[in-house]
Amino acid sequence: MGKKIFISGATGFQGSAMVKEVLSKGNTVTSVTSSEEKEVSTNTIEIIKGSFENKESIKKALKNVEAGVFTMPLLFDIEKAKEYTTNFVEAAKEEEIPLVVYNASFDLPSEKTGFLALDMKLEIKKILDASKLNVITLVPDLYIDNIAAPWSIPVLHEHSIVPYPIKPGKKLPWISHHDLAKHVSSAIEKPALAGEILPIRSGLFSGEEISEAIAEELGKPLNFVSVSPNDFEQQLVPSFGALAGKEISNLYRYVESNREALTQKSFLESQEKLGVTPESLKDWVKSVNWK
């Protein structure tokens, strides 16, 4: 018989991939959603109205759960992040959750960086560590699915370019949402790894290699275009606002400054511990609907 698993952000890009993978293993899923969205309850998934601002709704979603997958929603407010994490931790302790899988959602530095989004992660980790819950921390870096996002594909077709805010000719650790989900699902089955911080990736690719793989699938030439973090920020501001534009771009400024350290993390050791074989770049490209 499968387990009941809590997955935060179950309706988002990352969360929905986790839900699909966890359900494929014969488990059931529970989550919380904002009050504007519809509550859903089926034989395999239960989504309860609520949020991380409301501990009682989290407690309800954590009832009889055997593992909780915690990913912080995209926000740029340290106090809110601490509040949300504290509410989750208190609910998890009260419901006696045996295992928490924390998806750090990006690199987890060992000390403050001056970048809000990264320093938030340190505060979240401190709260989780102090909780004495059994926590496995998974640390991905760049999400290759961003290149295939609904707002990215039209640019690729109309201009025959793959623009991204990374340096040309430099390999970086990328992960697909599918591979993130596979690592999460595997961690749920390995409670003995509690206390470990595991870097995870699909592979090390340059922007040019990704562009070439997509071009081969589409049968048309594509050029990788390196966008500076400053230019990227200016592109984000109209849609996301000044603060989000700055902080999202800061992640890529951090990548520029820490590329060597990011590529040298113990990814293969994590794959061995979790028993995960990542998909190839070619397989990822084939899995995407490029229309």
Within the chain, which residues score under 70 in pLDDT? 1, 35-42
What's the pLDDT tens digit per position in 93-115? 999 999 999 999 999 999 999 99
pLDDT of 36 reads 58
The values of phi and psi at residue 25, to 5°, are -95, 10
208-234: b (≥16 Cβ within 10 Å) or e: bbbbbbbbeeeeeebebeebebeebbe
Report the predicted TM-score, pTM, of the whole model to 2 decimal places.
Answer: 0.95
Q: What percent of the chain has pLDDT over 90?
A: 89
